[in-house]
Amino acid sequence: MTPDMWITLIILVAALILFITEIVRIDVVAVGVMIALMVTGILTIEEGLAGFSNKAVISIAALFIVGGAVFQTGLAGVLASRILRIAGGDLRRLLGVLMVSTALMSAFISSTGVVALMLPPVISLGRRLSVPASRLLIPMAYSALMGGALTLIGTPPNLLVSETLREAGYAPFEFFSFTPIGLLLLIVSVVYLIGIGRYWLPERKQESPAQSVATPGQLFTLYELPGSLFRLRVQDDSPLVGQALGESGLRQDHNLNVVSIISGTRDEPSWVAPWQRNGHASRQMPRSDTRLQTNDVLLVQGKAEDVGRASGALKLAIVAAEPVVEDDIITNEVGIAEVLLRPRSPLIGKTLSEIQFGTTYRLTVMEIRRPGSDAVLSVKDTPIKFGDVLLVQGEWKHIFNLKKLRQDFIVMGEPEALEIGAFTQPRKAPIALLLLVGMVLLVAFNVLDLAPASLIAALGLVITGCLTIDDAYDTIDLRSLVLMAGMLPMGVALQKVGLVDLFAGGFINTLGQLGLVPVLAGLFLLTVTLTQVLSNTATTVLIAPLALATAEGLGAQPQAFLMAVAVASSMAFATPLASPVNTLVIGAGNYKFMDYVRVGVPLIVLGLIVSLLVLPWLFPLT
């Protein structure tokens, strides 16, 4: 072992320890690995930073945007609801339909996103059929992971092993190269979980049924909003005409919250309600710099007496022709939610006016409720305390942006909001579907490589308004990209200093004497073991070069070996922390650690057997 080998090995072992213990975030560890390799001179600066220009990394970034558009247009929700509609009441049929449909969706968009989307309707369906969620959610999670093995874009490891082949001078895997083995493994998984695996699924109720959160529609009723919402039309002689909303005094002087502003064209009679103007009306969220115009209709929330005083003082006509209904404040784009204040928030003790809540977060606080108190609290003057519940109203994206402020807020009801189509733009769904299908066809028929095809699709989705450029940036999981870009140089370093050849020699000298299939089994088991404690991306970055070198050292074709690595990296079944997909369902299913071991380990063994039988046939070893 040379000094460079020892340095690289020390960096690798330190990274593995940090990955497993999670003392430091995994993306931070990856950046640290990259820096350490450059600082110690193992890699040049160009080699160390090459991961950020890697084709697979760029492709995955674009695919995050494509997946985000599929969710934001409601296309994924439509598919999920139609899938569950045909599932029926029989548990075996329900499991079969649920697993196959989840896997098919995960073949094209993020498995984590698919599970997050499917979670609320599946739990709801289980309640209607009196089937515990614990009988449904592990199969759904496992099938989402297996769905990643169906196509080239299903999961990052598929792209990484394909790129490993290309860089070594071999033809990369094609779009559907993964489909035969992936489909067979999916069938085996479904048969196993419908059959004997079904008896190992726990039948466990949720520990806290009271945990269910009110839907936006229920909040509309619980807070008695119909009695506190009014429409006020700005008349010709109103002093508010031409004035910015922030200067109007509606909140400061009259205790009224402006929830939305409905404006229309000015070429129709003033008595025509703006929301009835032949589709010309536009609804906008209130901002302090919004200038009010004649015939604008303000949807305000407050007490009837305050509304009456404001209408007289500011020449605002109360529009009572149609009552305010749920759809006036809850749509795909806007809604209401409860937000809880955290115990160590620096906002404690301040009023909403002091922190300029509306300006800072672009949301309206409609009411403050304090546990144990029935007093009506002033939204303007009440210092907020730990445990206070704020009913906020505004665009869904701003509501759930509060989730990022973990020191300050807990946002309630995201699954319930997703169930009603929050964040979605249904009119754009056909465009998103067309661009998604177009991208798949371009790659499947080798018209374009995945990188340009996915970038074209991502750009098309932004240009056509399926999601804004800001939303596109938000959909990109930078943590995953940094992890991949930071760890790719480790693969280069292992090859450069000779450790890959050393490890490959170990495989060849031990398992190689038994034949190619035992080596294939060894790589599969090594990968599947590491992927239970590391991310599948980090595992693939480390094992793919080893698989390639081992195959070449044995004089074998490397395709089956790299395919085994990709397949094994998707089998994160044995622990709840092996994948975000598993972690997502652990609470909702009230699962224990051993539930994953009991159900997942036999499935891994079946996957190993199927892979060893089928991969040498699909991809000849010699």
What backbone phi and psi angles, to 5 degrees, belong to 526? Answer: -65, -45
pLDDT at 10: 93
What does pTM read for this prediction? 0.64
pLDDT above 70 for 414 = no
Angle made by CA atoms 96, 101, 105, in degrees to the nearest 5: 155
Q: Where are the domains of the chain?
A: 62-208+433-474, 216-328, 334-412
pLDDT above 50 for 209 = no
pLDDT above 80 for 333 = no
Lowest mean pLDDT of 312-326, 358-372, 433-447, 577-591, name the range. 577-591
User: Could you please report the per-residue DSSP string of 401-459?
Assistant: HGGG-TTTEEE--HHHHHHTTTT--GGGHHHHHHHHHHHHHHHHTTSS-HHHHHHHHHH
User: For the residues 515-531, what does the mean pLDDT come to?
Assistant: 90
Let me know if domain 216-328 sits in CATH 3.30.70.1450: yes
Mean pLDDT rounded to a whole number for the chain:
83
pLDDT band per the 50, 70, 90 thresholds, residue 276? very low
DSSP 172: P
Give me the half-sphere count of Cα atoms (radius 13 Å) on the Cβ side of residue 275.
17
CATH number of 334-412: 3.30.70.1450
pLDDT higher at 178 or 508: 178
- Tokens matching residue 331: 């749509």
pLDDT at 158: 93
Q: Does the fold of domain 334-412 match that of domain 216-328?
A: yes
Sign for the CA dihedral angle at 313, 317, 323, 326 comes to negative
User: For the residues 47-58, what does the mean pLDDT come to?
Assistant: 87
Amino acid at 397: K
